Amino acid sequence: MKKIVLVIFLVVAVACEQNKIAFVDNVKLMDGYQEKIDIEARYKVKAEALNKKRDSISQAFQIEAQAFQTKAQSMAQDKAQEEYGLLQQRGQFIGQQLQQEEQQMQSEGQTEMDSLISKVKSEITSYGKSNGYTYILSGGEGGSVLYGTDAKDITQEILKILNEKYKK
């Protein structure tokens, strides 16, 4: 009789110990996260400003190059070649500076996005722990959930928490 009670107790204990599993659609989460939207908008403005600067500098350099061509026609060939070499070096230097600015901007943007992703992962972990989840899987593009019922999708709950914390 004791063995039967023990077996029933074990079966009930195992049945009660089910894993609580949910998933988050990463694409929807990131697309709706206001901080990410703001970061992208900020870098879009920076990229547009850099493009305007590049266009302005290129236009000024083209005008200078055209003026040099006109001037070079009346110069001695060796003097013209020397000044043309200096003009080329200046053009390369300007191009390198603009490229460095662009790379720096991209690097800063990537650093901010990496930080944002860490923040999102941390929030999902915190949500999972406080709500008793054993697993929270990632869905959406590149995620590991091929199918999940809408009842197991906690994307909107996480998104709401992230956006509320960001507003503060």
Domain-embedded: residue 63: yes
Q: What is the mean pLDDT of each run of 10 residues along the chain (168 residues)?
A: 48 58 92 96 95 93 89 88 91 93 95 95 93 89 76 90 91
The answer to whether residue 7 is domain-embedded is no
Q: Does residue 59 belong to any structural domain of this protein?
A: yes
pLDDT at position 53 is 93
Domain count, the chain: 1
Within 8 A by CB and 6+ apart from 141, the residues are 26, 27
What pLDDT score was predicted for residue 13? 43
Helices (H) and strands (E) in the chain, counts: 5, 2
Could you list the residue range(s) of the whole structural domain that residue 42 is in?
Answer: 16-167
